Structure 1
Amino acid sequence: MSRETDEVREAIAGELRLMDPRVRSSRSLARQLLDPDFVEVGASGRRWTYDEMLAALPELDGAAESGARYEPSDFTGVLLAPGLVHLTYETTWEGNRARRSSLWRKQGADAGWQMYYHQATPVPPDSV
């Protein structure tokens, strides 16, 4: 169940920015959106740390300005606690689907929302 709060909308905006090739190819822009304690479990099953992701992001899918882009859909989100939003959504990348879950946190009134955790699970081609 999605509760469209300002916090949820801000987390979705951050998620969409992380899919933007200009952000993916810029370590300084990506750093603004990733929490220093960031961890990801990718669709491949690989575990990524903050430093690993910042180093690899410019080379990962979706970083080329003229290349293919992730197609996100079906965002839902909920404010779990003050400063903590959980998002779920689906992406399509060159015909491959993944279900995604991320936690966004905001630490302090003047801080921006940052992705704290992300997980992607591949969706088999014949699944609904």
Structure 2
Amino acid sequence: MTHDDPHHDDDALCAHLQQLEVALHHPGLPGDAARLEALLHPDFHEVGRSGRPYDRATVVRYLSQVVAPPGVHSSDFRLERLAPDLALLSYRSAQQADGSAVLHTLRMSLWQRGQDAWQLRYHQGTPAAVEA
């Protein structure tokens, strides 16, 4: 596989965006709002698993206060490149509670490449059936 192979580039991009996405599951120490603001596009917005919409300021405020990892397991990452600087990342997630996977969710994130880095522009979570 050469670097000119578009699938190689998509595989590398999928791995990179997966790493950024999973980092949002546990943003680290409280007060890391600057890192979150760099990761979230200025026009970022989200529709949560609950169906409620959230704006960028609300998400930054909430995530910057999370200290303990929520025990999210993510899998089945897929990338669709919509344009050279726009990619749709889809995956499944579930939270771990008492040794069981709960709150199964289908997730989609729209990532946009800016001048310096990829930023999350939109995110949506939809309740999902338990995998067989």
Pick the TM interval, shorter chain.
0.7 to 0.9
Instruction: Give the equivalent residue in structure 2 for 1:47.
Output: 53
For 2:127 and 2:82, the matched residues in 1 are separated by 25
Instruction: Give the equivalent residue in structure 2 for 1:99.
Output: 106
For 2:20 and 2:28, the matched residues in 1 are separated by 13
CA contact (8 A) 1:23 1:30 kept: no
Give the letter aligned to residue 99 of structure 1.
Answer: L
In structure 2, the gaps of 5 or more residues are: 1-6, 97-101
Hey, which bits of structure 1, 4+ residues long, moved more than 3 A? none
In structure 1, the gaps of 5 or more residues are: none
When Rg is computed on C-alpha atoms for both structures, the one with the higher figure is 2
Instruction: Select the residue among 56, 64, 67 that pairs with 2:67.
Output: 64
Structure 2 residue matching 1:45: 3-state secondary structure = coil
CA distance 1:64–1:23, shift in 2 (3 Å): closer
CA contact (8 A) 2:27 2:63 kept: no
Question: Normalized against structure 2, the TM-score is what?
Answer: 0.78
Structure 2 residue matching 1:64: 3-state secondary structure = coil
Aligned residues: 119
Instruction: Report which structure shows greater RCO (CA 8 Å, sep ≥6).
Output: 1
For 2:107 and 2:29, the matched residues in 1 are separated by 19
Deviation at 1:58, TM superposition (A): 3.4
Give the letter aligned to residue 110 of structure 2.
Answer: L
Q: Percent identity?
A: 29
CA contact (8 A) 1:100 1:119 kept: yes
Relative to its length, the structure with more strand (as a share) is 2
For 2:37 and 2:29, the matched residues in 1 are separated by 9
Structure 1 residue matching 2:28: 3-state secondary structure = helix
Instruction: Give the equivalent residue in structure 2 for 1:10.
Output: 16
For 1:35 and 1:21, the matched residues in 2 are separated by 16
Aligned Cα RMSD in Å?
2.1
For 2:118 and 2:46, the matched residues in 1 are separated by 16
Instruction: Give the equivalent residue in structure 1 for 2:127.
Output: 122
